[in-house]
Structure 1
Amino acid sequence: MKLFHGGLVPVKEPKILSADRIGDFGIGFYTTSSEEQARRFVQSKAARQNVAEGCLSIYDVPDDFLHNDFLRVRTFKAADEEWVDFVLKNRRQPDFCHDYDIVAGPVANDQVYASFALYENDLISKTELLERLKVRRLVDQILFHTEKSLLILNFTGSEVIRCRK
């Protein structure tokens, strides 16, 4: 199975780095099975950094990597109440820490983040947030949260992505 990481440079050896923004599933190395989504992330990151190009890194992983007996894996099948609670803990509680090696599930796009903001500011209920999420097409994200989990990523190449400047 192929996974993709969108950034500004090729990432041949992924690392767990502290980020300036904690992602939906916490700190770690984020990938997706959607090449299109990774390309969009390259475009947005390049635009934020005001650079002309970025890079799509490509990895092979075993097809059954989410069912690995040596790793603690949490998979969210849908943007349901459990997923919302987990994402909110990562976003709201700076000291929140989970013990999963890998977390996989839907990624919140810009429209979803807008709905989360309404919920976080008590402008809509959790029930309404969940209803809004049902009509969104959410692509996946796969967080590699521990050094041990990174061992299953096999870098196979990268592609330079030209971006508008």
Structure 2
Amino acid sequence: MPEFKEGLILYHGSYCEVKKPDLCKCAKRKDFGQGFYLTTSKEQAQSFLRTSIAKAVASGKIAENQNYGYISTFELKLSRQLRIHIFEKADVDWLHCIAAHRKKKLFIDVESKMEKYDVIIGKIADDATNATLTAYLAGVFGVAGDKEADDFCIKQLLPNKLKDQYCFKSEDAIECLKFVEGVKICLE
């Protein structure tokens, strides 16, 4: 079960070192909405480096030949009262939350309900599961939100041993992250 406690160590993988997260620079249509994403898995953060570098190259933020990224490490310092929502497992509520944030005007009520939280925690839909979620959103399994489509999609996702993700969505939440270090990782 995901934790949210004082001293928790979290990792962020990116094309650049991140000492002070800026929510304005965070993409909007991610799994739990716009926010700064971290994980308790250093390996998961490192596996995201290639994706981050590719996106930064495509948008012209970095040179095409950059073959390194950074793992930025943070420690949770609970200095503020935060509104937190934890998805304890990959279930229908989790699936609808991800679908609502990835595709506009789908599960509008879910997206609206999630806006009140400073931090949302749950399983990550990574590169290995992205094709399944894309197919779900495209209606390949049936209409998103129908029990049959939901059940089928979740059955496809569960064998992947999904890692966790922590989405810090507000300035109050960001203030609870203390930068520890950034480590440069060279890719082959």
Please, which of 75, 83, 90 is the counterpart of residue 101 of structure 2? Answer: 90
| 1:44 and 2:51 aligned | yes
Cα pair 1:46 1:163 within 8 Å, conserved: no
Please, which of 63, 66, 79 is the counterpart of residue 90 of structure 2? Answer: 79
Counterparts of 1:14-163 in structure 2, within 5 Å, are 14-20=21-27, 22-48=29-55, 49=57, 50=64, 51-62=66-77, 70-93=81-104, 96-97=111-112, 98-124=115-141, 125-163=149-187
- Structure 1's 69 and 14: CA in aligned 2 closer, same or farther, altered over 3 A? closer
Number of aligned residue pairs: 160
1:47 to partner: Cα distance: 4.2
Cα pair 2:13 2:71 within 8 Å, conserved: yes
Provide the C-alpha distance between the structure 1 equivalents of 2:134 and 2:74, rounded to a whole number of angstroms. Answer: 33
- Structure 1's 158 and 128: CA in aligned 2 closer, same or farther, altered over 3 A? same
Q: Deviations 1:99-126 (Å, cap 9, x if unpaired)? A: 1100011000223211112222222122
SS in 2 for 1:17: helix
Cα pair 2:75 2:177 within 8 Å, conserved: yes
Computed over aligned residues only, the root mean square deviation of the Cα atoms, in angstroms, reads 2.0
Provide the C-alpha distance between the structure 2 equivalents of 1:137 and 1:92, rounded to a whole number of angstroms. Answer: 24
Paired position in structure 1 for 2:3: none
Provide the C-alpha distance between the structure 1 equivalents of 2:21 and 2:39, rounded to a whole number of angstroms. Answer: 14
Cα pair 1:4 1:33 within 8 Å, conserved: yes
- Structure 1's 92 and 47: CA in aligned 2 closer, same or farther, altered over 3 A? closer
Structure 2 counterpart of 1:61, one-letter code: L
Structure 2 counterpart of 1:110, one-letter code: D
1:77 to partner: Cα distance: 0.9
Provide the C-alpha distance between the structure 2 equivalents of 1:18 and 1:10, rounded to a whole number of angstroms. Answer: 14
1:42 to partner: Cα distance: 1.4
1:19 to partner: Cα distance: 3.9
Q: Deviations 1:73-117 (Å, cap 9, x if unpaired)? A: 010111100000111110112784411100011000223211112
- Structure 1's 69 and 57: CA in aligned 2 closer, same or farther, altered over 3 A? closer
